[in-house]
Amino acid sequence: MRVALYERVSARDKDRNPENQLQLLRREAERADDTIMKEYVDEASRKQFEELMRDASMAWAASYRNERHSEKVHLGQARKRARVEAAGEQYQHGRRPLGSAMILQIQHLANQGLSRRQIAASAGVSVGTVQNYLKAAFTH
């Protein structure tokens, strides 16, 4: 993840060195395999913080939201795959899994020489579903 580091030294802590805290933040970013894009240090003001907020703007928020959404989607897909496979069915990404009887029917109709459109009409599924299951059958 791309990150920015921010350290603020208050007016009453002027003798404190912000570099100590920045070293800790850099180490944490390295541990998390983050890329530090910029460092901001305020000494008795908030100008750097305001610059950080301007730099971050909506692009950062959108990127962060997209990353979190992507993680949730991948976790959901993994749970669905595990549930479908535990039931002994074939996992088909983005689709409702078809039972083994339906898969056998699709394969049987294909072996009879029917077109994908004819198979779809006979089995009551979409042409895309027929295509996906036949493709999966030939790759396994």
- For the segment 109-115, the average pLDDT, to the nearest whole number, is 94
Give the pLDDT score at 94.
Answer: 64
Mean pLDDT, the chain, integer: 85
Mean pLDDT over 30-59 rounds to 88
**Which residue matches tokens 């939201």?**
65
Report d(CA 58, CA 33) in Å as an integer: 23
pLDDT at 117 over 80: yes
Residue 140 pLDDT greater than 70, yes or no: no
For residues 20-36, average pLDDT: 93
Does residue 124 contact residue 96 with C-beta atoms inside 8 Å?
A: no
The alpha helices in the chain, defined as continuous H runs, are 18-31, 47-86, 100-111, 116-123, 127-139
CATH topology of domain 95-139: Arc Repressor Mutant, subunit A (1.10.10)
* pLDDT for position 54: 85
Question: 22 burial class (0-12, 13-18, 19+ CB within 10 angstroms)?
Answer: middle
CB atoms within 10 A of CB 17: 11
62 has pLDDT over 60:
yes
Q: Give residue 28's pLDDT.
A: 94
In the chain, where the domains are located: 2-85, 95-139
Residue predicted with more confidence, 137 or 38: 38
Q: What pLDDT is recorded for position 14?
A: 64
pLDDT value, residue 109: 94
pLDDT at 36 over 80: yes
The pLDDT score that the predictor gives to residue 38 is 93
> Cα separations (Å) of 38 from 14, 54, 94?
23, 13, 39
Q: What is the pLDDT of residue 69?
A: 87
